[in-house]
Amino acid sequence: YPFPRMADDQSWRAAFPWRGARTVCPVVVGRDRELGGLRRALDAPARGGGTTLVLRGEAGIGKTRLAHEAIAAAKARSMTVLVGRSLQHGQTPYRPLTEALFAAARAGPLPDVAELRPFRHALGTLVPDWRVDDGGGEVSAVVIGEGVLRLARVLGNPAGTLLVVEDLHWSDADTMAVLEYLADNVAAQPVVLLVTVRADENPQANDLVSRLEIRGAAQVVELARL
């Protein structure tokens, strides 16, 4: 049966709309344990605390799908959701954190509350809209991390905040330093930090995850093949 000749790829898509389309199953199969862990983590802010959860596994194992399930569940709880991703090429300092906070910046100016004022310069390192001309110099990962933590608490009031950082294995050293501070200090805040990382890439990222797990600052969920 001869198919009609198509002048371009767009014509093919119009004639055969299913070709090249990505189908996502509406039900997550075989991950009941992992989904239960995500839901328990998202319950922490309602009790006044926070937690760090790391999804680790090989490429294509389902880390991003589980992260999307967590995002949907957080929104159902009326939590504030901030999402950022590291990229394989061009490791811009703080890229996933800047992307995550841009969503807050588009929603309006930095909240003018007393606990954030000392950190305006640090947060301005991540979001140009929030920069202030106060003569401040370079700021450390610790100060940036504390600024992000306090901002997440303010933005998430009263339901809490979910901060998702995808593809830690492609993050720069500055981002990893801030995430380490966040993981070490999030337990007393209504903030959930969710990180995805490949198990077989970037020893520095996996060393960080191991350190956090050893000292009890993060729960690591190893995703095996189904």
| Structure tokens belonging to residue 156 | 């998430």
pLDDT attached to residue 91: 77
Query: Which residue, among 82, 75, 68, 54, has the nearest Cα to 153 in the 3D structure?
Result: 82
3-state secondary structure the chain: CCCCCCCCHHHHHHHCCCCCCCCCCCCCCCCHHHHHHHHHHHHHHHHCCCEEEEEEECCCCCHHHHHHHHHHHHHHCCCEEEEEECCCCCCCCCHHHHHHHHHHHHHCCCCCCHHHHHHHHHHHHHCHHHCCCCCCCCCCHHHHHHHHHHHHHHHHCCCCEEEEEECHHHCCHHHHHHHHHHHHHHHHCCEEEEEEEECCCCHHHHHHHHHHHHCCCCEEEECCCC
pLDDT at 108: 87
| 73 CB-near residues (< 8 Å, 6+ apart) | 38, 39, 42
Measure the CA–CA gap between 152 and 36, rounded to whole angstroms.
24
Quick one: tokens of 126?
């991540």
At residue 54, what are phi and psi to the nearest 5 degrees? -115, 125
Question: One digit per residue, pLDDT tens: the chain, 226 residues?
Answer: 343 444 444 443 454 444 444 445 555 655 788 899 999 999 999 999 999 999 999 999 999 999 999 999 999 999 999 999 999 987 789 999 999 999 999 988 899 999 999 999 999 999 999 988 766 667 899 999 999 999 999 999 999 999 999 999 999 999 999 999 999 999 999 999 999 999 989 999 999 999 999 999 999 999 988 6
Please tell me the number of Cα atoms within 13 Å of 214 on its side-chain side: 6
Say what the pLDDT of residue 195 is: 98
Q: Within its chain, how far is the Cα of 200 from the centroid?
A: 20
In this predicted structure, what is the pLDDT of residue 133? 75
- At which residue do the structure tokens 């995550």 appear? 100
Counting every residue written for the chain, the total comes to 226
Question: Over the Cα atoms of the chain, what is R_g?
Answer: 20
Please give the Cα distance from 3 to 1 (Å, whole number).
6
